[in-house]
Amino acid sequence: MAIKDYLRERFFPHMWCPGCGHGTVLNTLLRAVEDLGLNKNDIVMTSGIGCSARISGYVDFHSLHTIHGRALAFATGVKLSRPELTLLVPMGDGDALAIGGNHFIHAARRNIDITAIVMNNRIYGMTGGQYSPLSGPGKKATTAPYKTIDNQFDVVELSKAAGASFVARTTTYHVQEAIEIFKKAITHKGFSVVEILTQCPTHYGRKNKEGDAVNMLEIYRDTTAKVGSKALTENPALLGRGIFVDKDTPEYCEEYEKIIQLAMREVA
């Protein structure tokens, strides 16, 4: 199938700003789905609120655009009630880890077979550029006119600690890598987290003098390195990219199926 067969062209043009990285996330994610040859009827995309969340409207899957921070809770209901479906849950950084932080760690703890995608642009874009739990200290935002003093979450470490059985990080600069990571995350049985750094030139870039979209992509190129690479070993200041966790642990829906068998045996 061509990539446009996965899009709802009826709903275009999209609402993202020129230079926004979210279109690249959409592109790489759909190419992963295409490469895997998944049936569109088998995919449910659940999203919350924010620029990132609008991605669910543009894809020709079953799409559930929900309320702020709760996409994973809705997705849990969809998945547990129909485990054969493939759940994709793109979220913004504030959506996933501020208002939705509790759902994020608990979905990871359950290891329910959902692919969570944290589209990290380090800012609340839709509301006009407020700092997020992934902005980090020393940054400028419309709610931090002097500078931020909040520490940031490390999505990879947080996901690992919470129990996610697949954890990866990539960026919108590294599109081939992103496609491969999405493919592995979607195929993985269990809770998968993919953090993808995605540029917001309109708010984050402008406020923090990171230049236009091209400049911001070059920053991703220059400040990250593959896990296990010599560059990363030699320069710990670089941010690691790649797959950090990929392990087999009991998946929630499969475990619940065993509970059903147990309960039915008890009645019989």
Partner 1 sequence: MNEQIKFIQGNEACVEGALYAGLEFFAGYPITPSTEIAELLSQLLPQKGGKFIQMEDEIASMCAIIGASLTGHKVMTATSGPGFSLKQEAIGYACMAEIPCVIVNVQRGGPSTGNPTHVSQGDVNQARWGTHGDHAIIALTASNHQDVFAITVDAFNLAETYRTPVVLLFDEVVGHMREKLVVPEKGEIAIVDRLRTSVGKGVDYHPYLPREDGRLPMSDFGGDHRYNVTGLFHDMWGFPSNDPKVVKDLLHHLVDKIETNVNIISRYKEHYLEDAEYIMISYGSSARSAIHMARHRREKGEKIGVLELQSLWPFPEAVVREKCAGAKAVIVVEMNMGQVMRQVKACVDRPETVFLANRIDGKLITPTNIKGILRVIQGRGV
Residues that bind partner 1 (CB under 8 A): 8, 10-11, 40-42, 44, 46, 56-57, 60-67, 70, 73-82, 84-85, 102-103, 106, 256, 259-260, 262-264, 266-267
Q: Cβ of residue 208: shortest distance to partner 1, in angstroms?
A: 30
- Integer-rounded Cα Rg, in Å, for the chain is 18
Q: Cβ of residue 156: shortest distance to partner 1, in angstroms?
A: 21
Q: Give whichever of 89 and 213 is closer to partner 1, judged by the CB atom.
A: 89
Q: Cβ of residue 60: shortest distance to partner 1, in angstroms?
A: 6
* DSSP 3-state of 214: helix
- Alpha-carbon distance 73 to 88, whole Å? 13
How many helices, marked H, and strands, marked E, lie in the chain? 11, 10
Q: Give whichever of 74 and 244 is closer to partner 1, judged by the CB atom.
A: 74
Q: Cβ of residue 93: shortest distance to partner 1, in angstroms?
A: 20
* DSSP 3-state of 105: helix
Q: Give whichever of 88 and 216 is closer to partner 1, judged by the CB atom.
A: 88
Q: Cβ of residue 151: shortest distance to partner 1, in angstroms?
A: 23
* DSSP 3-state of 135: coil
- Alpha-carbon distance 63 to 126, whole Å? 20
Q: Give whichever of 12 and 247 is closer to partner 1, judged by the CB atom.
A: 12
- Alpha-carbon distance 246 to 173, whole Å? 23
